[in-house]
Structure 1
Amino acid sequence: MVQQEAVIVRNAIKRYEKGQLVFDGLNMTVSKGSIYGLLGASGCGKTTLLSCIVGVRYLDSGEIWVLGGNPGSKGSGIPGPRVGYMPQEISLVGEFSVNSALYYFGRINGLDDEEIETRHKFFSDLLQLPPADRLVKNMSGGQQRRVSFAAALIHKPELLILDEPTVGLDPILRENIWAYLSQITEKENITVLITTHYIEETKDANKIGLMRCGKLLAESAPQKLLERFQCSYLEEAFLKLCEIQNNTLNNEVTRFKAEDTSSDVFSENEYERTKVISEYKEVSKHQISRLKIFKALLTKNGIQYFRYYGGLVFAIIFPIIQIFVFIMAIGDDPKDLKIGIVNDEAGTCGSNFGNVWNDEITCHFGNLSCRFLHNFDNSIATQEYYNKVSEASHVVQNGKLSGLLYFSQNFSEALQKRMEEGVFTKDSDLLASQIQVSLDMSDRQIGLFLQMKLFKRFLEIYKDIMKDCKYSSKLANPPIRFEEPIYGTTDLNYADYVAPTYMLTLIFFLATTVSTTLIITDRMQGVWDRSIVQGVKTEDILLSHIFIQSISIAIHTVMIVLLFFPIWGLECKGSIFTVIVLTFLVGFCGLMHGFIISVMCKDHIMANYCSAGSFYPLLIMSGCIWPVEGMPKGLRWFSYALPTTLPSISLRGVIYKGYSISESQVYIGFLLSIGWILCSFMMTILRVRSKSL
């Protein structure tokens, strides 16, 4: 007798997160080999009850037995292939064709491809399915529901749970479905638990349950319920039950059952019977290979990834665009700058290039300001001449000039005295021998660039003057000498400094974006939960996503390395293999970061906020824009813990210093990346296993 009940729910209590009561001591019994119609208004908790029965959600208190065991218990087969589940949502991947949808659900439930093909043909006729190659996202709502219905039936489960399967279907097809359900319950002893908006269509059910305010108002055969209330239609009986419940002071209604069943009072005998059932465990008929399930997941993820053409274009074109924009926009010297010239010594100079002559006693200078300004081309700034310093300063203040140069009237003569008289030179001559430069330093990078260029220009001209005077050109050198760098080159520009961090930041957020999008799509479409109901492990879903997206990360890694090194010409003094491996690991960190975001957020909008919100702090504190050493010490240590900072330092060591992985500066980046990957994966697993997901 104990095995005659497919589903038993006793004293079920369930609340939503905000404390709203969904079930208030709900009791329900579904017999094996029967059709049970669960009716109730939208929002009354029917879908929540079904998700508890299949083991996706849990009761706050009370007990559920399904096919002789507790959902989720070892050997119960629930979740697993013993149940077929059609959620209220379509719960199919939009990139699935009819064929790939049925093959996916058939394979994860242990069917061979030949069996799937045979049943596909059968359901195509029964449910009038669209052509096998039609994509789910291109189907009408009714067509999608028919495919979803076929996916739940494909493996002939012992218990079939259908959440409003006939919504949007035409009456004839609805009649065909009910006829088929009646057939499989009678001939194959399959149990069907179905919810529907169409109350009258449940007249063909063996038993119906009318759910309202967290309880079942009635649980009885349809005909006996009509006789009890002397009604012609089930809707009338339902309305009368609702009136009785509303008029009852304690909000409890006597549940009317068939005469051949026990009363609704949960007697001691029935309690003992359910105790026996709770101890009964029926092991699944056969265990499905996790490898077979994993292969099905890989196929599903591959279809989902490679048929999402917009995402595929993004994954391929976006990194190319980003790198070319970086190469074109970062690192070159500023162009089209303008600088004001006030030359009281020689005016606009014209064809006067300045004079230096030696009379065998001393060296004489004339109009050296013109020599300094000659060939002063756009590599520094375009010259604009003004008569007064105040006039040029006003133009700088208006933002039309980047600065101004002023040459005093006796600039050349004072420079000559400065060179000849040395420490005896008057202060007035020292001042007159200077080129007075006033820059707009509100744009610091432009100001520093002009400072460097003007200083180098002065040293070059001054060395030429020393040569013309037949003096040693070394006299023009300042009393500090910068030797050849130990690492790097003297012409290393800002793009060279930024490139390693930019490479890692780019691949990190490419991986984050792709992983976040796919997993949230799975969850929002309901495919994640539906797969879990069929016995797919959370770890297998994540690992299958990791495997497919690792291919994407590998492609991005190769693209980034090719574009930066052979094409752009960035020289790598160390092992390019080390660069590739470290870049791939940081991309993998981004993948795990995306997983965390996707399991914490419920939709794409919130995920995009989280992704963008984490992007800018990571970019700013990773040393990409400014060296980490410029931060306060506390913030600096926090920066070192980020997933791109130390790996960027490691990558810079490999590229510019030729370090191997045995150097501490390099292997610390590898260790941090591996640590981030492991911690992120464990956090993701813990989150998806929690009840709140």
Structure 2
Amino acid sequence: MEKDVEEFTVSISSHRRHESETNVNPSGSSRRIDQAVLVRNANKSYGVGKNRCAILEGLDMTVKRGSIYGLLGASGCGKTTLLSCIVGRRSLNSGDILVLGNEPGTPESGVPGPRIGYMPQELALYGDFTIKETLQYFGRIYNLRTAFVDSQLEFLSSFLDLPPSDRYVKTLSGGQQRRVSFAVALFHEPELLILDEPTVGVDPLLRRSIWDHLIRQSVDHGRTVIVTTHYIEEARQATTIGMMRSGRLLAEESPNNLMRNFRRPSLEDAFLKLCMDEQQTESMVNASISNATIQNTEEAQQQQPQGDSVDYAEGVVSQTDVAETSVHRQRHSNSRGSIDSATSSSSNATFNLGISDSTGAKIRKRKNHSLKLSLPSIHRLGALIRKNYLMTFRNFGIFVFIYLMPAFQATVFNVTLGHEPKGLKIGVVNDELDPSQGRTCNYTTDCSYSMLSCRYLRYVKDNIIQIPYDNISDALVAGKKGHVWGVIHFGHNFTEEFEVRQSEGDSANLKNIIRSRISINMDSSNQQIDVFIQKWLLEAFGDFFKDFMRACQHEPEAGYIPVEFLDPVYGKKDTPFTEFMAPGLIISIVYFMAVSLTAGVFVSERKQGLLDRCLVAGVTMTEILIGQLINQFSILIGQTTLVFLCMLLAFNIPCHGNLALAVFITFLQGFVGMCFGLLIATFCDNENSALLLSQASFLPFTVISGVCWPIEGMPPYLRKIAYSMPLTYAIEALRCVFARGWGIERPDVYLGIIISVAWILALLILCLIVLRIRKYAR
């Protein structure tokens, strides 16, 4: 064990001498020109508190221009995180990175952008694209000429042995898809090529061809390549090897020097030896910390005067901290191969990068500048829009579902809601009928007080089915069992008592009034059915009484309730409930379809690595948002058109106002839904959570926004919440256009438009803010 530690110390010392001899320029300017990638004191962690996990710890990395850098390490050691920081998709918690002479994300660096080619671990390919369309898509993003795109397609197809270019990516095998992903990274011939495990699933012959091509790109064209791989021995062809373990770079040297320094015949043996030495060194360091703590404690106990317990405790802690700090520096120096472990991390990073205070201030200024919005590029925006349309129309089943689902929902609504119920059973107990005569209901239509109970029942609407019962107790039992919705009871002398009441008028006594009543017991568990039955029974009595008065040559309106509902200001006397709900339903269908579709598509692209790949290629988040909004807006046009055709033509929902204004209000709400879907997608990392969140908002928004019930029926405190919802004012505006025929000059209408526009702007700004924060917080 001591011999292994000695060998490890000798190898690290040799590596330090080599580094100090080749990097002696304190200004660092020439080094920055010679280095394609320079990383100093990189620290990156995820989580907070007890869940905090360090991914990169004090990592230093130097990649020379025109070289092939092989980054080796076990899964989970931080390779992919390091590459993401280099390409500008993640930011360090502390430390510095320079790529091609500038910090990633600054306008001067061109990273992300066309100067870099990136192949992530995920395939990051559009399954509904052909191979040719995939390469053409990235060609448009990079604004490459058509002739160059065609020549590269021909060359890479031959070189990587790709299937026919008209094959869809989703029909390819895993190895073939990986080769297409590799072709995308090589396509625009970038200065810096970053490949995350490009040879996984590739046969040995093609793997050798790939490495030969990378060597030619490095030697003949001066391009820089960073490649990670699990096949350690194939990395022997790299110019420099970086061996990572637990977020640190254990060694950074040429393959031959690594094997010579560790006296091993292969890279795999050298890597294994280095890991074993590192583990032994950590054990020794931990033991040294423990021994130093015990020794310092014993010395402090011997030197500490009696009775000074507070100073004694402080002395022990101070000496222990010094011991731990000293040993930690020794371990940090051995693990990183640093030039000077006693130098602080900030000054060490500044020295190695050659960055002065003023330059550091400039870089901080660039970071702030990178957070600002940039104008979208026409060619990139065109590529994104074309891609979105192809993805939408290629899947015919999804395409039909997207366009027909709103119309189907509107149809179901009109067929099922707002119609009068039919076949409602009502129990009838008529004690006027003589049991000996078979309870036959005989009545006349002239002016005679005879069997008025039967005469009244003749006017009851056909929606009610009359079920006769012999006595009131049986009828009530049937009602309690749910066999009937109510019970109508006529007394023994109903007709005679009714005649007396009519003749005596205001002089009628209370007993007469009670006996002349039609008693009704209702099952009010269903409020809507209860309302309909009460309405029909009252209407039946009105029709019965008017007909009877007319038969007796009296004024039909005499003696009836002295309240008259004349023609309404807006709508009809019997406005169907469907017409009340139609505006709210139109907006809610369009709104929530936009929310679900936008959130699902955006999250799906991010989960598959497609979003990261496009962003590394130079596409901005603003361009992606605009591309998604344009695509979803075209879908919104089709959905809205079908919903309006279904509502207005198929089911005759009247629109008394300007139809164009109604469509415009609906479009705005669809746009609000898209923006809300994008906001959901920025918070969620997978499709399930995004769709669940979008669907979870459906019921509260529908109920609170007044779609199915007037807001005036809510408690006062809930009304304030209702009017803060994005749908409320728009629904009220559309309802005013449909039912009242109002125009944009009315406050209720233009407030719906103004508030919808305000929600669109607010949600878009929130999307951009969240995306920027999440990017720089990762």
TM-score of the two chains, using structure 1 as the length reference: 0.94
- Alpha-carbon distance in structure 1 between the residues aligned to 2:194 and 2:439: 93
Q: Which amino acid aligns with 1:370?
A: C
1:361 corresponds in structure 2 to none
Check 1:345–1:167 CA distance in 2 against 1; reply closer, same or farther (3 A cut).
same
The answer to whether the aligner puts 1:114 opposite 2:147 as a matched pair is: yes
The answer to whether the aligner puts 1:188 opposite 2:218 as a matched pair is: no
SS of 2:498 mapped into structure 1: helix
The answer to whether the aligner puts 1:689 opposite 2:772 as a matched pair is: yes
> Percent identical across equivalent pairs?
39
Q: Which amino acid aligns with 1:333?
A: E
CA contact (8 A) 1:10 1:26 kept: yes
Cα offset, 1:256, TM superposition:
9.4
- Alpha-carbon distance in structure 1 between the residues aligned to 2:564 and 2:630: 54
2:687 corresponds in structure 1 to 604
- Aligned positions, number: 680
Cα offset, 1:504, TM superposition:
0.5
CA contact (8 A) 1:55 1:72 kept: yes
Q: Which amino acid aligns with 1:627?
A: P
Cα offset, 1:290, TM superposition:
1.1
Cα offset, 1:304, TM superposition:
1.7
The answer to whether the aligner puts 1:165 opposite 2:198 as a matched pair is: yes
1:47 corresponds in structure 2 to 80
Cα offset, 1:288, TM superposition:
12
1:403 corresponds in structure 2 to 486
SS of 2:449 mapped into structure 1: strand
Matched ranges for 1:144-543 at <5 A: 144-248=177-281, 249=285, 250=328, 251-252=331-332, 254=334, 272=351, 274-275=353-354, 290-346=377-433, 352-355=441-444, 357-358=446-447, 364-374=448-458, 376=460, 378-379=462-463, 381-543=464-626
1:21 corresponds in structure 2 to 54
- Alpha-carbon distance in structure 1 between the residues aligned to 2:197 and 2:432: 93
- Alpha-carbon distance in structure 1 between the residues aligned to 2:208 and 2:651: 67
Q: Which amino acid aligns with 1:689?
A: R
1:68 corresponds in structure 2 to 101
CA contact (8 A) 1:166 1:196 kept: yes
- Alpha-carbon distance in structure 2 between the residues aligned to 1:466 and 1:269: 107
CA contact (8 A) 1:337 1:378 kept: no
- Alpha-carbon distance in structure 2 between the residues aligned to 1:231 and 1:347: 117
Candidates 628, 640, 645, aligned match of 1:545: 628
Cα offset, 1:589, TM superposition:
0.8
Cα offset, 1:255, TM superposition:
6.7
SS of 1:490 mapped into structure 2: coil
Identify the range of structure 1 (162-171 vs 136-145) with the bigger mean alpha-carbon deviation.
Answer: 136-145
Check 1:614–1:105 CA distance in 2 against 1; reply closer, same or farther (3 A cut).
same
CA contact (8 A) 1:406 1:435 kept: yes
- Alpha-carbon distance in structure 1 between the residues aligned to 2:256 and 2:76: 26
SS of 1:70 mapped into structure 2: coil
CA contact (8 A) 1:69 1:279 kept: no
SS of 1:29 mapped into structure 2: strand
Cα offset, 1:74, TM superposition:
2.2
TM-score of the two chains, using structure 2 as the length reference: 0.84
Q: Which amino acid aligns with 1:543?
A: I
- Alpha-carbon distance in structure 2 between the residues aligned to 1:162 and 1:310: 36
Task: Calculate the aligned-residue CA RMSD, in Å.
Answer: 2.3
Check 1:256–1:272 CA distance in 2 against 1; reply closer, same or farther (3 A cut).
closer
- Alpha-carbon distance in structure 2 between the residues aligned to 1:353 and 1:449: 28
- Alpha-carbon distance in structure 1 between the residues aligned to 2:376 and 2:567: 64
Check 1:476–1:154 CA distance in 2 against 1; reply closer, same or farther (3 A cut).
farther
Cα offset, 1:289, TM superposition:
8.4
CA contact (8 A) 1:93 1:525 kept: no
CA contact (8 A) 1:557 1:584 kept: yes
2:751 corresponds in structure 1 to 668
Candidates 660, 682, 700, aligned match of 1:617: 700
Cα offset, 1:352, TM superposition:
4.0
Cα offset, 1:54, TM superposition:
0.6
Cα offset, 1:76, TM superposition:
1.0
Cα offset, 1:530, TM superposition:
1.1
Considering fraction of residues, name the structure with more helix. Answer: 2
- Alpha-carbon distance in structure 2 between the residues aligned to 1:432 and 1:288: 84
- Alpha-carbon distance in structure 1 between the residues aligned to 2:767 and 2:150: 36
Cα offset, 1:310, TM superposition:
3.8
- Alpha-carbon distance in structure 2 between the residues aligned to 1:472 and 1:635: 50
SS of 2:725 mapped into structure 1: coil
Deviation by residue 1:417-437 (Cα, 9 ceiling, x = unmatched): 111111121222211211111
The answer to whether the aligner puts 1:97 opposite 2:130 as a matched pair is: yes
Deviation by residue 1:172-192 (Cα, 9 ceiling, x = unmatched): 111111111011111111100
1:641 corresponds in structure 2 to 724
- Alpha-carbon distance in structure 1 between the residues aligned to 2:198 and 2:425: 73
- Alpha-carbon distance in structure 2 between the residues aligned to 1:252 and 1:573: 78
Q: Which amino acid aligns with 1:599?
A: T
CA contact (8 A) 2:333 2:341 kept: no
CA contact (8 A) 1:327 1:568 kept: yes
SS of 2:529 mapped into structure 1: helix
- Alpha-carbon distance in structure 2 between the residues aligned to 1:652 and 1:151: 52
- Alpha-carbon distance in structure 2 between the residues aligned to 1:59 and 1:477: 84
- Alpha-carbon distance in structure 2 between the residues aligned to 1:239 and 1:272: 32
Cα offset, 1:634, TM superposition:
1.3
Q: Give unpaired runs (5+ residues) of structure 1.
A: 359-363
CA contact (8 A) 1:466 1:476 kept: no
The answer to whether the aligner puts 1:6 opposite 2:36 as a matched pair is: yes
Q: Which amino acid aligns with 1:354?
A: Y
Matched ranges for 1:569-580 at <5 A: 569-580=652-663
SS of 1:365 mapped into structure 2: coil
Cα offset, 1:476, TM superposition:
4.8
Cα offset, 1:264, TM superposition:
8.5
Check 1:476–1:329 CA distance in 2 against 1; reply closer, same or farther (3 A cut).
farther
CA contact (8 A) 1:110 1:288 kept: no
Cα offset, 1:481, TM superposition:
0.8
Check 1:532–1:653 CA distance in 2 against 1; reply closer, same or farther (3 A cut).
same
CA contact (8 A) 1:356 1:366 kept: no
CA contact (8 A) 1:255 1:264 kept: no
CA contact (8 A) 1:37 1:209 kept: yes
SS of 1:339 mapped into structure 2: strand
Cα offset, 1:47, TM superposition:
0.2
Q: Which amino acid aligns with 2:658?
A: S
